[in-house]
Copies of this chain bind each other. A is one copy, B any other.
Amino acid sequence: MPEFLKLIPVEQALQILLSQLYVKVIAERIATINSRGRVTAEPICTPLPLPSFPRSTVDGYAVRAEDTFGASESLPVYLRVIGEILMGSSPGFNINPGEAGLIHTGGMLPETCNAVVMIEYTQPVGGEVVEILRPVAVGENIIKVGEDIRVGEEVIPQGTRIRPAEIGGLAAMGFVELAVAKKPIIGIISTGDEVVPPDRKILPGQVWDINSYSLSALLDQAGAFPKRYGVFPDQESILEAVCLSAIDECDALIITAGSSASARDLTAGVINKLGSPGVLVHGVNIKPGKPTILALCNQKVVIGLPGNPVSALVIANLFVIPVVEALLGMTNVAFHPKVIARLLINIPSLAGREDWVPAKLISSLGEMQVDPIFSKSNLIFSLVRANCMIRVPADATGLSAGELVEVHLFMLE
């Protein structure tokens, strides 16, 4: 039996983990202005209707529509202008039959009006009279109270990631603070006898720790709080000790294994000692990232990532980000749009295995094209040069140049 048949497919692996995870979101109140990227911990409902007063949508004259019926350029209707409605104020007057009030876009309509004539279709005559050159229908050029949003309507659901638009929406309701999910603390432990923190010198045979850095940045971007524990040698007792103290301090734990097979086996053994049920998935049907470990230890997620920095970052995008989103109480897995682009060179792949290939998406001749980046040693710089990933589905034996392929943007930002 080929090995990939024993490995778990990507989506199924994630489902096995998420379906057993019980999330309890802890809320904290923060200032709206600082909430970008955070996730709402309660549904946001409007305390007032929007608009909260009847408004004009144009510059013109507030009128009673019935006064304008039959108006035309050759036979205008004459209305008496009884005043101007100042921006930001209640109108100081009502409009009686035969009267009109100068009004600006966003101005508050007097109660007795039911339409606004655009300034373009009017003609002032002396100081106090205006010619109306076109009729308006009842309701024309105005918005009624609550026409956009009714009182109490849910405008931002719980579990929503706050963008500039949501911050604007909160300001529109006068909400200067809101309840968001506390950032989950995700511990990062790097292992590998050959791995050295980047602030130390390296000797021949050693490499600098990439994963603590790249994964920290990714977790920060996803709205989690990364806690780096440093680099540890491939020794069971040392790794077990740091993992036990980290899982106590964190909401979830990422362990990047050394690159040798023995180092990877060590990780699974240690994870199983951190709590039950322990390892749920060991080996995912994906390249890169086959030795990925997904575990749940006393309701805390533990993920064992491959030591190779490209594998680690790709797998973190596919597995760690959905876990962070779940811990933040995002009810739907975030929407990641796919782009369809024309493949510039062939991608070989084994049937039965899902491949993710870093690539460069470019806009050319009115269509999107995508250029795969191949790198012998899966060096991190293949991701630096990439702005997307191409997914080669498990049932494909590679993709051919000229084909339209599915591109994922998760490396882009």
Contacts and interface: CB of A to CB of B under 8 A. Distances in A.
A172 interface: yes
Nearest to A48: B202
Given A176-B199, A335-B363, A377-B143, A168 B260 contact: no
A53 B161 CA distance: 44
A156 interface: yes
A166 B386 CA distance: 10
B106 A214 contact: no
Q: State which size class the interface on A falls in.
A: 35 or more
A51 interface: yes
Contacts of A53: 204-205
Contacts of A213: 32-33, 167-168, 170-171
A10 interface: no
A19 interface: no
A207 B194 CA distance: 61
Per assembly, the copies of the chain total 2
B165 A205 contact: no
Contacts of A339: 337-339
B363 A215 contact: no
Q: Which of A91, A198, A212 has the most CB of B within 10 A?
A: A198
17 contacts: A33-B213, A87-B193, A88-B196, A106-B194, A106-B260, A107-B194, A143-B377, A148-B379, A148-B381, A149-B381, A161-B413, A168-B380, A168-B384, A174-B199, A174-B202, A335-B387, A340-B340
Given A148-B377, A168-B214, 12 more contacts: A88-B192, A88-B196, A104-B260, A106-B258, A119-B261, A148-B375, A163-B411, A164-B218, A164-B221, A165-B386, A171-B213, A338-B368
A-B interface, 8 closest residue pairs, ranked by CB to CB distance from nearest: A168-B214, A88-B194, A104-B260, A108-B205, A165-B383, A171-B213, A164-B217, A87-B193
